[in-house]
């Protein structure tokens, strides 16, 4: 049995970041990195641009090809870890091989959520999570005229844009009342919807896909909850992701929705850590445990985990729900609470012909933001939010930096008046 000082299961943002952090501290310790994908470190954030043809496959790589050699690590690509045995400090691979470790990081990510409907396994039904997924989609372009996107979140919007750029007729179906419901509000979504429809992407909300209708094993249409049938040759399932907790579930590692970690990114087992889309951490603005499955959070968590695995004591402050997207020259960025419920929240909204801005306020502090159009100064708003300063103290800063431009178009939706803020 081969033994390593460190084993990292996962070869994406969190795993690569942890590897670099370990190596900066421990130059000699043996390291293995395991991934069920037989591919070097690449950016999942860019695969929609590969789908659209805006970048080539090699443009997905975000580490040089000699990365593993430079890090002096043993890459075990195309191998799947199926079990962790903490009592023996072992990882068992699908091919039966066992590896021993001193410290282990689970950076095992998440997988696309399934619909659980008839016809979901038909040819022409796809997800978009890995390079292999995108290659499969690209290979079907010649036989595809129309695509249905099931889900109006970030992945769904990026898929719709990419397929539209490739000349396909695209229709987005979402059960929510508006697209990007986790990122923006209804008013902002209506602006985006108009832009998408201007470019030929149809959007239908408040509906679910009940069945994929097949013919000879291939998708030919979808049946909606209102009884309508939408003909298509491709269905993209983009309903979100679920953390890959099965490896932890069978090992005694504590889980909730994801793997539970402390401030050191350590699990309840002292020498096992978790980071990335599988790790459940505290949200800085909400103050509650969540999984913020975002690339920057995964990088930060991996870095903290790696340092602690190598003997340093570093704390992870918490994750942030922050998203951005640009579609047809319409830029959108948001963070924190964007669709608040409850009397404890107030909102400040500025809507001009070219821009939409919204701040969500709780106890006088910014806890959420939507910027659509001119997204400059979004970083400054986030910084003010994280500092926790009262709006009564920073109202002039908001005006002075152009975050809110015209006092006359501000409107308050909530308990307090505009004059309390600016």
pLDDT of residue 29: 97
With a cut of 60, say whether residue 151 has pLDDT above it: yes
pLDDT digits (tens, 9 = 90+) for 360-392: 999 888 999 999 999 988 888 888 888 887 776
Query: Is 155's pLDDT higher than 90?
Result: yes
Residue 418 has pLDDT above 50, yes or no: no
Q: Is the dihedral of CA 274, 276, 277, 280 positive or negative?
A: positive
Helix, strand, or coil (residue 197): helix
Residue 392 has what pLDDT?
60
Quote the longest CA-to-CA distance of the chain: 71
The two three-digit tokens of residue 305, written as one number? 């985990």
Residue-level pLDDT at 184: 97
In this prediction, residues 93-103 reach a mean pLDDT of 97
* Residue 179, pLDDT above cutoff 50: yes
DSSP assigned state of 255 = B
Give percent of the chain above pLDDT 70: 92
Confidence of residue 209 (pLDDT cuts 50, 70, 90): very high
pLDDT of residue 393: 52
Q: Which domains does the chain have, with CATH numbers?
A: 2-111+242-309 (3.50.50.60), 114-239 (3.50.50.60), 330-420 (3.30.390.30)
Predicted confidence at residue 419, as pLDDT, reads 29
Report whether pLDDT(394) > 80.
no
Contacts of 116 (CB under 8 A, 6+ apart): none
What confidence category does residue 402 fall into, taking pLDDT thresholds of 50, 70 and 90?
low
pTM metric for this prediction: 0.90
User: What is the predicted pLDDT for the residue at 112?
Assistant: 95
* Helix, coil or strand: residue 410: strand
Separation between Cα atoms, residue 192 and residue 328, nearest integer Å:
10
pLDDT of residue 286: 84
pLDDT at 285: 85
Query: What is the C-alpha to C-alpha distance for residues 301 and 178, in angstroms, rounded to an integer?
Result: 32
Kindly report, residue by residue over 329-349, the tens digit of the pLDDT.
Answer: 999 999 999 999 888 998 889
Mean pLDDT of the chain: 91
């Amino acid at each position: 049995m081969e033994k390593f000082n460190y084993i990292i299961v996962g070869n994406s943002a969190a795993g690569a970041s942890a590897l670099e952090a370990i190596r900066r501290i421990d130059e000699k310790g043996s390291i293995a990195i395991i991934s069920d994908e037989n591919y070097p470190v690449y950016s999942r954030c860019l695969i929609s641009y590969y789908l659209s043809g805006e970048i080539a496959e090699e443009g997905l790589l975000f580490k040089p090809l000699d990365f593993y050699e430079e890090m002096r690590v043993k890459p075990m690509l195309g191998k799947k870890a199926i079990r962790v045995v903490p009592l023996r400090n072992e990882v068992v691979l699908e091919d039966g091989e066992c590896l021993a470790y001193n410290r282990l990081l689970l950076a095992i990510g998440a997988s696309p959520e399934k619909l659980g409907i008839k016809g979901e396994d038909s040819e022409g039904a796809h997800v978009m999570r890995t390079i292999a997924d995108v290659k499969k989609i690209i290979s079907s372009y010649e036989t595809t005229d129309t695509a249905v996107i099931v889900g109006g979140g970030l992945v769904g919007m990026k898929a719709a844009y990419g397929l539209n750029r490739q000349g396909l007729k695209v229709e987005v179906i979402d059960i929510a009342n508006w697209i990007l419901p986790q990122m923006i509000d209804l008013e902002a979504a209506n602006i985006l919807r108009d832009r998408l429809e201007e470019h030929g992407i149809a959007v239908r909300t408040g509906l679910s896909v009940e069945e994929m209708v097949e013919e000879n094993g291939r998708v030919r249409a979808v049946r909606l909850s209102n009884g309508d049938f939408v003909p298509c040759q491709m269905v993209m399932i983009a309903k979100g992701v679920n953390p890959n907790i099965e490896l932890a579930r069978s090992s005694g590692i504590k889980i909730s929705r994801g793997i539970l970690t402390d401030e050191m990114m350590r699990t309840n087992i002292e020498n096992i850590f978790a980071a990335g889309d599988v790790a459940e951490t505290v949200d800085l603005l909400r103050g509650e445990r969540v999984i913020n499955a975002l690339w920057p959070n995964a990088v930060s968590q991996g870095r903290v985990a790696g340092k602690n695995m190598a003997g340093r004591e570093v704390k992870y402050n918490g994750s942030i729900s922050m998203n951005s997207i640009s579609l047809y020259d319409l830029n959108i960025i948001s963070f924190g609470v964007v669709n608040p419920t409850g009397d404890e929240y107030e909102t400040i909204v500025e809507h001009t012909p070219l821009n939409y801005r919204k701040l969500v306020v709780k106890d006088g502090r910014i806890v959420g933001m939507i910027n659509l159009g001119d997204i400059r100064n979004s970083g400054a708003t986030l910084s003010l939010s994280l500092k926790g300063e009262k709006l009564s103290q920073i109202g002039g800063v908001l005006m002075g930096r152009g975050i809110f431009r015209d006092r006359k178009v501000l409107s308050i939706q909530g308990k307090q008046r505009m004059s309390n803020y600016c």
